[in-house]
Copies of this chain bind each other. A is one copy, B any other.
């Protein structure tokens, strides 16, 4: 079904071929539909057509698999933000462009949370997985993590003279707080049931609040 490469997949041969990747793909799919707690090791092996223990040749334990899925989810979030920025119309005004890039971080973030709530929850299900030594696994196509994209955008704001350098320090935490909080409100909280238009509008208000209040 999943077509784990090698033709008809792992059945025929004793060796699977790319089990680690297959388990990760299964984990991502489970996270997509059910969030982090739906990432269950035995089910992943089942989907890969393999005995439960086989997973332990590629992941130390369930937490390691979940961590890899979380990294992938963070990468997908980064990709969504990058796509949001890439879709921006070209602007002659560098200041307007910097502001647009900053706002695109917030809108891309919130849109991803609504489009892929399971992945979004999984991305943040592991404490302090946002940045770190091996950030590459959590990056998007452009090689930046979501947090990195935010810092870039804030630096751009300072460069364009839209944010006083004195207020730059810690600004990522303020901006991230607001945007991430809204995302959780939209997928788990009282705003869960609002329609797309309202969500977009609230997102716009929030980004404006941050932009104005920073």
Chain A interface (Cβ within 8 Å of chain B)? 37, 124, 127-128, 130-131, 147, 170, 173-174, 176-182, 184-185, 188-192, 202, 205-206, 208-214
Among the listed B130, B181, B188, B208, which residue makes an inter-chain contact with A178, where contact means beta carbons less than 8 Å apart? Answer: B181
Pairs A–B under 8 Å by Cβ, sample size 5: A170-B205, A174-B206, A177-B182, A178-B209, A208-B213
Evaluate contact between B190 and A128: CB separation under 8 angstroms: yes
Q: Which residues of B contact A190 (CB under 8 A)?
A: 128, 130-131, 147, 173
Q: Can you list the 10 inter-chain pairs with the closest CB atoms, starting with the nearest? A: A213-B213, A181-B181, A177-B181, A209-B213, A177-B182, A180-B181, A178-B178, A212-B213, A127-B188, A174-B209
Cα–Cα, bound, A189→B184 (Å)? 14
- Interchain CB contact (< 8 A) of A182 among B181, B202, B214: B181
Given A179-B181, A213-B212: A174 in contact with B128 (beta carbons within 8 A): no
Known: A127-B189, A180-B181. 13 other contacts (CB 8 A): A37-B37, A124-B184, A128-B189, A128-B190, A128-B192, A173-B185, A174-B178, A176-B185, A177-B179, A181-B181, A210-B213, A212-B212, A212-B213
Chain B hits for A127, CB < 8 A = 188-189, 192
Task: List, in ascending order, chain B residues with CB within 8 A of A181's CB.
Answer: 176-182, 184
Cβ-defined contact, A170 with B128, below 8 A: no
State in angstroms the CA–CA spacing of A210 and B210 once bound together: 8
B-side contacts of A177, CB under 8 Å: 177-179, 181-182, 185, 206
Question: With the chains together, A190 CA to B127 CA distance in Å?
Answer: 8
C-alpha gap A209/B188 in the complex (Å): 24
Q: Output the least CB separation between A6 and chain B (Å).
A: 37
Give the distance to chain B from A25, nearest Cβ to Cβ, in Å.
25
In the bound complex, what is the Cα–Cα distance between A147 and B189 (angstroms)?
11
A130 in complex: contacting residue of B174, B189, B209, CB < 8 Å: B189
Residue in chain B with minimal CB distance to A191? B173
